[in-house]
Structure formats: structure tokens, C-alpha cells
Amino acid sequence: MKHQDLSKLVFILLAIICLTPWIDSTLALLMGILLSFILGNPFQSFTKTATQKLLQISIIGLGFSINLNDAIKAGTDGIILMIVSISSTLIIGTLLSRLFKVDRKTAHLISSGTAICGGSAIAAMAPAIQAKSSQISVSLGVVFLLNSVALFLFPNLGHLFHLNEHQFGLWAATAIHDTSSVVGAAGKYGNIALTTATTVKLTRALWIIPLTLISGYFFRNNSRKVKLPYFIFLFFLAILLGSFIGNNNIIFHSLSAIAKKGLVVTLFLIGTNLSPADLKEVGTKPLMMGITLWIAVSILTFTMIMGLPYFLNIK
């Protein structure tokens, strides 16, 4: 059997295995990474497109299982945390870019990805500041690597520090970059964590719009086109439908269950998109800046969640 045929066969088999009850998001990501590193991704152009679409569809499906009151509580609890973490991330990122001597646009992309929603924020920000393809690739590479680490690391840290599900959901939503890893880590922690993390993260993602417009002004790009994350509005519509007409509705429960398996497959696809070439392209300085910024944000948000429960209304 040819190498390309073997990699295609293994890819398909692993994707099917991800649909079984025994594979969670962390294991799916690991399987995807190992496939990419050992045999290569035989469907690279397909997976890059499919990953984003499947993630959006799966998140919309999750909305059917989320109660509106729980969503409102999660959003209310996270709003102060969200404002502090986004503004702090951008300020710290600017300072770190000077320390590590990372060019201004690459640093801003990494900071924006860390502050809001990873790759989606970088994709929206790049045309607004007229970033070069190399700057975009490096920024995406940094965020992608840290996302992969977060999916393995955060649930273990949550248990180590005895975070309850609501606390962990808030922490994951504010300290993990991409929505896919946020949902994957929170889903592994519990249903309450998943509800909190998903709602807060998608509310946070709406900050792409004002931040992109402001960045376009400071980088003096007159086009400043912003790609609206329309699927977020469909997610909130699904919450409304599930809360008002979907109580104990078997169809909505089935859609939610399918969405959870869709997220597992999404993490597998994300893993297949990571290659040794990506690691080489990132470079030491942007990676060190991204890691330092991520640690700083993680500690800041963790401290707020654990040390200021009354102020943040987190219990």
C-alpha cells in the first residue's frame, strides 16, 4: 500500500473512532497530532476549511442544551473578568513585544488572539492592520501550539486547585485562546463548566468587532473591514429555542449530543493541521512572547476568580 493511501485510510478510521463514546476531545487532538507527525495529513486543504465549519455547527448545536437563565448568569459573572482580561492582555502584550523584540503587527495579532478568541480574532484582525502572510502564519502557529497544550493542561490544573465547574468554565473562557479548545477542555470538566465556558467565550468573541475597528484606526488602514461572527448569533438563538420550546424535546437533546461528538471530531481535525513545518516556522521570539503572555493572563484571571469571589459574584 502506498504511503498516501495508508495515511488516507488511517485518517478515515481515526475520524470514525472519534465518533465512539470512548474518545474525548483531548485524545482526539492527540490522535490528530500523531497522525500528522507520523503519516502526514492527506486531506490538508479539506481539513483547514472543514474544521472551522464543523466547529461553528457544533457550537450552534450545543446551544439547544443550554438553559437561558444559566447563560445569562454565566455572561453576567464573566463581564468584569472579560473587560479586565482583554484590556490587560493587550497592554501586557505590547510591553512583551518590546521585551522580546517582536515586530509590531505580529505582536498585535498574538495579543488579539490571546485576548479574544485565538485564530478567529487573528483572521479578523489581519486585514484590518494589513498584516503580511508570514506575520499571520507565525501568529496562528503560536496560538495553535498553546491551544493544544491548554486542552491537556487546564482540566488537570482545575482539579489540582479544586475549581468548581462554574469557576473552571470562567477560567477556560478567559485564559484559553481558541473556542474549540475552550469547549473541549470545559466539556471534559463537566456540563456546568461547558455551559459557562461556551457562553462567556462566544460573548467575548463579539469584542472582535470594536477591537478590529480600533486597531484599523491605529494602524491607519482605511479599509478596516470586519468579518462578523454570525454563527454566534445562531448559538444564542439555539439557546432561546431550547429554553422556551425545547424543554425535554428529544430532537434538541439529540442535536446537542451530535454537536458534542462534532466537537470531538473538530479537535481531531485541528490536530491533523499541526505539522513539524508549522513548529519550525513559528520562531523562538514570538513563541516566547506568546507563552509569557498566556501565563500572565492565566495567572491574572485565576487570581480574580479565586481571590475576588464577592466582587465578581463567582461562587
| Cα(103)–Cα(124) distance, integer angstroms | 19
Domain ranges of the chain: 3-312
- State pTM to two decimals: 0.78
State residue 109's pLDDT score: 92
pLDDT at site 240: 86
Digits of tens for pLDDT over the chain (315 positions)?
Answer: 677 788 999 999 999 999 998 888 778 888 988 998 899 999 988 888 888 788 888 888 888 877 777 777 766 766 788 888 899 999 999 999 999 999 989 999 999 989 988 877 887 787 778 887 678 778 888 888 898 899 889 999 999 999 999 999 999 999 998 888 898 899 889 989 998 898 888 888 778 778 877 887 777 655 555 566 677 788 888 888 888 876 567 788 888 889 888 888 988 988 888 777 776 777 789 999 999 999 999 999 999 888 765 445 555
pLDDT tens-digit readout, 43-101: 988 888 888 788 888 888 888 877 777 777 766 766 788 888 899 999 999 999 999 99
